[in-house]
Each structure stands twice: as C-alpha cells, then as structure tokens.
Amino acid sequence: MAAAPAMQDDILAKAAVPSATLQGTEMETAKETSFVAEHSTTSEGFDSYETPSEEEMQTLRRVSGKINWSIYTIAFAELCERFSYYGSYVLYSNFVRNARPPGSRTGALVPGVDENEYLPGALGMGMKAAQAISLVNQFWAYMMPLFGAWLADAKYGRYKVIHIAIAVGMLAHVLLTIGAAPAVLDSGEAAFAPFFLGLFTLCCGTGLFKANIAPLLAEQNQDIHMRVEVQKGKRVIVDPAVTNSRIFLWFYFAINVGAVVGQVSMVFVEKYHSFWLAFFLPTILFLFAPLVLWSNRKHYRLTPPTGSVLSKFLRMFMYATKKSPSIFKINWELAKPSNVPAEQRPDWMTYDDAWVDEVRRGLLACRVFLFLPIFFLAYNQMSNNLTAQAGSMRLDGAPNDVIQNLNPLSIIVMIPLLDHGLYPLFRKMGFNFTPIRRMTTGFFFAMFAMIAAAVMQHVIYSRHPCGKYATECGGAIDLNVWAQSLPYVLVGLAEIFTNVTSMEYAFSKAPENMKSLVMSVNLFMSAISAALGQAFVPMTTDPLLVWNYVTTAAISLVGGIVFWICFRHLDAEEDQLNSLKKTEFVGDVQPNAAGGGPRQGGRTISCTGLIHRNATFVR
C-alpha cells in the first residue's frame, strides 16, 4: 500500500490521530472495527455531559460516579485469591521458626501441652530463619508482577494471565500440602525442600495475579470525563478520580476480608489439627475465583495486548534522551511524532502524541513509588517480629499469630467510615485530600505504629524473667496479647492512606497500554523493601528488638517528610494529569503506522464502515 504524502502524515500526527486508510487483511480489519466500536462514544454521548468551568472546578463539590456490578465480581475473585495467599502466608512464621511440640507429628498442639509454653511448629529453624523466609517470600511475590505485567500488556491480555496465575497457585498449594504432611515432617530437614518450592510457586502465581487483577477491575469504570450533574437539587462534579478512589478502597476492603478470614481460620487449623490441612483448605475457596471470572466474562471490558510496548517505550525514552540537552531534563516534546518530520520518523514511532504525554505522566508516578520501600519497612514488621512479640505475652487460648488479624479487621472497619464519612466530609468542606497528601499521612501513621511496638517490646523486656532475652528464652509475661493491638490498627490506617492510594495512583497515571506494567512497578516496591529488610535481620533478635522498632519509626518519619517535600507540587497538577488526552495506541491500533488509523481531528470519517464523530476510546 502506498504511503500517504509527508505533509498529510505531519497533519495527522499533530492531531495525534492516524490517517483515514487502514491496511491488513479483512479479518484484521474486522477485529479493528470491533475494537473501535466497543471502545468509542459518539458525539451524542459527549453532548449529554456538561463540562465544568474553571470556576466550577474550584467551587463545586466532587462526587463519585456509579460503581457497576462487574467491578464487584472481580473484587470477589481478589478476595478468594487473598484468602488463599494469606491463609498460607500466616502459617510460615510458626512453620519455620518453631519445632514440633512434644508428641506431635502434624505440628499442631496435642492435648496436655501448655499453650503458654509451646507454639505450633514444624521445622524449628529459629527466628532469624523465619524472618528471612518471610522477606524472601515477599521479595518474590512482588517481583513476579513485572513478568505478569509484561505477559498481559504484550502477549495475552490481563484476563488470560489471571487464569494462568490461578493454575500456578493451585499447584503451589499442592506442594505446600505435601511439604507439611506428617510423613515428610518426620524426615527432618528434607521437609524444607517441598515447602520452599511450594512457597516459591505461590509467589509466582501471586505475582502474575496481582499485576493484572487491579487494572482489570479499574478499567471497568466507565466514567472517563468530569461532568456537572444536579444531585439532590445541587450542582456537583462527577469526578472519575473520586470514582477510582472509591473503587480501590472497596477493592482493598475485599483484599482484607479474604485475608482476615483466611488468617483467622487457618491459624486455628494449624494449632488444633495440622499444618497440611491448613495449607490445603485455602485451595477450596480459591477454586471460586476462576468460576466467577468465567461466568461474567461477557460483561467485562478488556483491553487487548499491544505487543512489545516496553521496547517501544525504551526506544522512545532513548530517542528523547539523545535529543535533549541533558539526561536530567528530558524534553518529551521531541519524542512526539508531530514534532518529527515524516521522512525522519523512525519505523517504530507508530504511537501518537498523547501516548508520549501518558508515558511522561506514568514516569512521574514511578518516581512517587520510589518512597514506598521505606513505608513497607514498617508494614513488614507484622509478618514475623510482631508475631514473635505476641508469643511473649499471655495468649489465653488464642494462637500467637491470630492477633495480627487486627490489621485487616481495622481496615475492614475503617474503609466504610472513610468512604462514607471522612472523605465526603473533606470534599464538602472544600478540602482536597489529594493522593500525595493521603500517602504522606500514611507514612506518619506507620511511624506511630512502630513507636507503639517499641513501647510494647520495652514492657516485655522489663517484665520478663529473662529480661532482654525474652523471645529466645520463651515463656510469657502476665499481660494479655490483645494489649498489642495498637501497632496493627495503626499500620492498617497507614495502609489505607498510602498503599491503597498508590494503587489508585498507578492506574490513573499509567499509559493506557501499560497499566499492568506501572501497577507491577508499584508492587515491586514491596520486593525492594523486602531486600532492604534483610539489612535489619540482625536487629530482629534479642536484645535489639526495641531498637529495631525505634529505627523503623525514625525511617518512616524522615521518609514521610522528604516524600512531601519532593512531591507536594504534584497536588496542583492533579486535575491536569488526570485530564490528559487519551491515546489511541492500544491493541492493534498503531496511530502513526503508515496509512493506519480511524479518524482525523473532529471531522466525520469512515473507519472500516463505521461512521462516527470525535470517537474516543473508553477504557
């Protein structure tokens, strides 16, 4: 097919749209037509919206749009997966750290054993090994999303990769169950191999799942433009950013419902029956996830994979860097096709101008994420150190690892209060509680949580007969374990403000065809935090535990202050960043490929038989 004249190509590039002719086979054309029809809105749809003026943007209250049913079904699938993951994860600390109680083959307590002296266990490798295993688990679980994102964005799409992840997770539960079987535990250290293989496999499945489930959920939101509506006699702005904020709040609610049910139920199974059954039971609920996703598949709005978009991004980045005067101040305008003469345009430059703006916005989000490893240093204390701290207190029949469920329980209680109480109150008062402000607030709650943990550890050291060697010595002080509640509740609040907001930020700021990738970068920060946490392992033992918590609190405080100083300017740009023109470089659509594309500017044109005006992809 002959290429369009250079002048025409330049005009089309400046409009960030392709030329009016298409190339490819009839089958490819039919697919493209279907995609455009599915993801476009007509001028009638736009005419029904009243765009807010600059004055209204500053004065009108902002409200959420409708959350449709398909979003809740995806959230339920996440609930099932989190039950599976956390129902197993909560067992790792006791399984690795403690030896089997006297007379037990399964690792559970047997009748007659003092519950305040012995804990469920299997491998007996000690506290440092348990903390190291916990950090390795977190590192792999949050490094694998990078691979899962690439599979989804470039190869198979999010929906298919999620089903692959579920299959991998099922295999992992089989391996964990085998590793905890009494006959395998009788073999001593040999039981570690199947256990660790199962743990690693579950990390792989979790990574593939986590990178894609949140973007799949959020792209079901059909609100993509701010609009003015009259609700209860008052003019308000329906803001897609507010809708996304609510979506991710309730998504995190589902995560923590799955986590708390999985953790509470499995620690009692671990304590009173066996580890093998505790590893096996989460598999049953996990089976519901693919059934729910499959039964609702026709109702989901799916973004097709775009091919090797990562390589295109790297080429664009290198091109802009090479053309810019400094690597520290990249001029992204130089990478826009409209600013490159057609005869000088590289073959790979098939995207539109809007994609360059979206990539720049996504990189801004990734800079924000660089502070998350500091936040997660405090969060990671729950996985092992606070569990061990609970073991030094009077349990009164409760498993030592059940107390950590106060964290998800506090989240389950606080999310409805924030969604229906605090956040609407702030909006009514005209206070814009922006993502940067919310994330900064989370850092300070993490600091207070670590101060509370340090105080509790000091109390244990001062009251225990073994003093500053209470954890290694064993036994419990005369203080109920529920006195340890405050750190878990404060970390839960910190998660809502920082972790939930970071996921919302990842989705809203990512390019349309790189949402899984940017979400995986956000998740990867947990892996970096786990690696950093290895430096603190020498402090996770007696007599240094108080200093461990104090140091983490100080890091959270400094991290929060520096975070605010670095990114507070983004608050003023929030609406502008959220209102960028959406790219058409999605799926098989190559806006600046020679002769390809559905529309030009605001004219009504033909796109493989589909007539529409000002078509806009809705994702």
Those residues with Cβ within 8 angstroms of residue 5's Cβ, 6 or more apart along the chain or in another chain? none
Average of per-residue pLDDT across 265-278: 90
Find the angle CA(542)-CA(543)-CA(546) to the nearest 5 degrees.
100
Give yes or no for residue 280 having a pLDDT over 90.
yes
Give yes or no for residue 187 having a pLDDT over 60.
yes
Tokens 């924000």 belong to: 368
**What pTM did the predictor assign?**
0.79
b/e burial code for range 268-289 (CB count within 10 A of at least 16 → b): ebbbebbbbebbbbbbebbeeb
Kindly give the pairing relationship between strand 605-607 and strand 477-480.
unpaired
* % of the chain residues with pLDDT over 90: 39
For residue 464, what pLDDT band results from cuts at 50, 70 and 90? confident
Give yes or no for residue 255 having a pLDDT over 80.
yes
For residue 605, what pLDDT band results from cuts at 50, 70 and 90? very low
Average of per-residue pLDDT across 452-459: 92
Beta strands in 450-491 (DSSP E): 477-480
| 470 vs 475: CA distance, rounded Å | 8
Give yes or no for residue 77 having a pLDDT over 60.
yes
User: Which domains does the chain possess?
Assistant: 6-39+307-350+586-617 (no CATH), 56-298+357-578 (1.20.1250.20)
Give yes or no for residue 3 having a pLDDT over 60.
no
Lowest mean pLDDT across 142-151, 306-315, 523-532 = 306-315
pLDDT at 249: 94
Average of per-residue pLDDT across 459-475: 80
Which of 96-105, 435-444, 527-536, 599-608 ranks highest by mean pLDDT? 435-444
pLDDT at 22: 36
* % of the chain residues with pLDDT over 70: 86
b/e burial code for range 102-140 (CB count within 10 A of at least 16 → b): eebebbbbeeeeebeebbbbbbebebeebbbbbbbbbbb
130-148 per-position pLDDT tens digit:
878 887 888 889 889 999 9
Nearest residue to 187 via CA among 240, 123, 139, 239: 123
Residue-averaged pLDDT of the chain? 82
Phi-psi region of 164 (alpha: psi -120 to 50; beta: other; left: phi over 0): alpha
Average of per-residue pLDDT across 561-587: 86
Give the tokens for residue 442: 């989370």
Those residues with Cβ within 8 angstroms of residue 318's Cβ, 6 or more apart along the chain or in another chain? none
320-349 per-position pLDDT tens digit:
999 888 777 889 999 999 998 888 888 889
Q: What are phi and psi of 33, to 5 degrees?
A: -60, -45
Q: What are phi and psi of 528, to 5 degrees?
A: -65, -40
| 493 vs 414: CA distance, rounded Å | 8
197-242 per-position pLDDT tens digit:
999 999 999 999 999 999 999 989 877 788 888 888 889 888 888 8
Give yes or no for residue 600 having a pLDDT over 50.
no
Average of per-residue pLDDT across 472-493: 84
For residue 455, what pLDDT band results from cuts at 50, 70 and 90? very high
For residue 48, what pLDDT band results from cuts at 50, 70 and 90? low
